[in-house]
């Protein structure tokens, strides 16, 4: 006979992708705390951090990333995005603050680029996505970023925001015009799924560029 206790324990046991995603929701916290580590001693390791991130990027070619709950290309994007934003922020900030803001900027962008989809979903579906509460977790880094920077409501920032949402909305409508189910992409054939993934990658990069420009402009003068 099957041991029911073993079955129940197996069903309740977290899988590796679930565990990775759970940990990923908590990652902004240590990176927020990193911002308050005041030291210049790590600045000399800026180039070293770059090489580490490049090595991690190369390592992804040999990793079975799907086992971790994230696609290969998405992991590549996160590694290189944090790397690029970190190097930019280092122009104004010391190592800990630059890495802290870089990670939280990229993390918040996970929600930022999808805002048109989040707005359109209840309109198209007639109900709020059940995962909406999880999406809101990605908003908290924004409040942190806002609290440690001096981002202002200026014409330039509003123009960047307007451009970002215009492009994101256009790309969303482009996929919808192709009759692609953006809420169930895995059900699409490979060629159409590739179109979605590529379009979303472009959207992520463009939105991150706009978001980074706004944050960079609001970074307070550093004691560099």
pLDDT of residue 181: 85
Closest by CA to 175, choosing from 132, 124, 136, is: 124
pLDDT at 5: 41
Q: How high is the pLDDT of residue 188? A: 76
- What is the SS3 string spanning the chain? CCCHHHHHHHHHCCCHHHHHHHHHHHCHHHHHHHCCCCCCHHHHHHHHHHHHHHHHHHHHHHCCHHHHCCCHHHHHHHHHHHHHHHHHHCCCCCHHHHHHHHHHHHHHHHHHCCHHHHHHHHHHHCCCCCCHHHHHHHHHHHHHHHHHCCCCCCHHHHHHHHHHHHHHHHHHHHHHHCCCCCCCHHHCCHHHHHHHHHHHHHHHHHHHHHHHHHHHHHCCCCCC
Q: Find all residues with CB under 8 Å of 20, minimum gap 6, and list them.
A: 68, 69, 70
What pLDDT, on the 0 to 100 scale, is given for residue 22?
61
pTM above 0.95, yes or no: no
Q: What is the pLDDT of residue 68?
A: 57
Compute the half-sphere exposure of residue 176: CA atoms within 13 Å on the CB side of its CA: 12
**Local mean pLDDT, 10-residue blocks, the chain (224 residues):** 40 59 75 93 85 74 60 77 92 94 95 90 74 73 94 94 96 92 80 88 96 95 58
């Amino acid at each position: 006979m099957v041991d029911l206790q073993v079955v129940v324990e197996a069903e309740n046991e977290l899988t590796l992708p679930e565990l990775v995603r759970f940990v990923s929701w908590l990652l902004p916290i240590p990176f927020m705390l990193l911002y308050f580590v005041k030291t210049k001693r790590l600045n000399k390791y800026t180039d070293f951090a770059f090489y580490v991130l490049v090595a991690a990027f190369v390592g992804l070619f040999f990793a079975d990333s799907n086992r971790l709950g994230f696609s290969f290309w998405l992991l590549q994007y996160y590694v290189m995005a944090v790397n690029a934003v970190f190097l930019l922020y280092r122009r104004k900030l010391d190592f800990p603050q630059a890495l802290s803001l870089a990670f939280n900027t990229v993390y918040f962008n996970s929600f930022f680029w999808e805002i048109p989809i989040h707005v359109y979903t209840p309109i198209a579906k007639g109900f709020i996505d059940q995962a909406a509460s999880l999406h809101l977790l990605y908003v908290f880094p924004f409040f942190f970023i806002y609290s440690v920077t001096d981002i202002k409501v200026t014409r330039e920032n509003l123009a960047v925001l307007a451009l970002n949402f215009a492009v994101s909305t256009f790309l969303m409508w482009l996929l919808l015009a192709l009759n692609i189910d953006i809420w169930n992409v895995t059900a699409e054939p490979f060629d159409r799924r590739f179109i979605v993934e590529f379009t979303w990658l472009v959207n992520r990069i463009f939105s991150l560029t706009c978001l980074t420009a706004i944050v960079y402009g609001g970074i307070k003068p550093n004691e560099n």
